[in-house]
Structure 1
Amino acid sequence: MRTLVEVVARAGPGGRTVLPVVRSSGQLAVRRTGPTTVHLVATAFGPLGGDDAELRLVVEPGARLAVRTVAAAVVLPARGDSPPSAQRVHAEVGGALDLRFEPTVVTRGARHRALLHAQLDDGAELTATEQVQLGRVGEEPGRWTGTTRVERGGVPVLHTTVGLGPGAAAWSPPVAPRAYASTVHLGRSRDRATDTDAVRLPLDRGWVATAWGERLAPTLRRLALLEGAAPAEEAL
């Protein structure tokens, strides 16, 4: 199934943010839930193998937008020889964009690809967090591949691909984490920092923090420590 979500955030009178475009089709509905926040709501079970979801986000200068989901996404395999399911986020940011979706759980036999491609103006801000758990409780892991590319003024700031699960090049037991979480922030710099199975690295006017492990809840706690935020509640 093909899914398309489009949101445009624009600076309005008195410093408010207006959303002249909020529309969706396919497996996701989009709802405005706050002055600068929208939530994505699944209207069908999945994603299944072969499903393709694209999010087109535009945040104009002076505007702010936060994008959330209401529940975890459980990726399921399709029958037959279907391609991986995919979620692609394309963002043009002149103001401030904050992306934090609920976890992606990749079940046994499923394959999923996630892409974030963000193009920032020189003074724009971006915060984007990815949360992944391979397999449900007592289940073998599926396979997840995530690519993040961030450009500022047309110049690449970060371009990285992470592959997890059976068949991924860097996923070789005993180094085979089933949980992965990462935040990329562009807007203010922070120094390098490390913790057990977690690291924060500086970028040009930003940073990227990554944590990994067997279960997502403790992995998110390690990530939160590097972000300087309160630990996430144990949900998985």
Structure 2
Amino acid sequence: MKDFKFYVITGEEFHKDRDLLEVMEEAIQGGADIIQLRDKKSSKIEVLKKAQALRELTKKYGVTFIVNDHIDVALAVDADGIHLGQDDLPLHEARKIVGANKVIGISTHCIEEAREAEKNGADYIGVGPVFPTNSKEDVVDPVTTSYVEQVAKEITIPFVAIGGIKLHNVDQVLDAGASRICVITAVVANEDVKDAAKQFVSKIDARRIKV
């Protein structure tokens, strides 16, 4: 998979007065280089329509497109990959379905899950939630930056820090060893989506240059 640094997940409930494609295009223009469609409530048909539109948008900009959970939808629109949680289809079963050329990301909340994901062939892992977050229902307790530090020291596949990350605390996450950041509300709920994304990318870039 292509390297990435700023990962933005859809969250339509946080911008109800604005169109999904408009918001995500602004995020991309601001520097998001990987986009995930996450929709737990819409019908399969609605998810498919959104995925088709986002697939075209991400192709236009050369950005990686990931679909959360819906493997059938990901394959139908030729998304670049899928993202799975700990309670979703096991990675090795998902790999049988999507094949070797699709990206598979796995959410992890402790070092044991990270080790397991790496061993089983995940292309990247999500590390979080780093801080308290209201973006997801039934979210686990914050893993804090100490888990980010563990992963940075031990895990060799790419990882992205996620969960409650805002401009005011992203430096703590970068200090802990993360070089890839994922957000939802910090960008999609912002009045100026493009500028919010740019500010995150600027912080990430500054840290990568120092390293």
Please tell me the TM-score bracket, short chain as reference: under 0.3
Higher relative contact order (CA 8 A, sep 6+): 2
TM-score (norm 1): 0.26
Larger radius of gyration: 1
Higher share of residues assigned helix: 2
TM-score (norm 2): 0.28
Higher share of residues assigned strand: 1
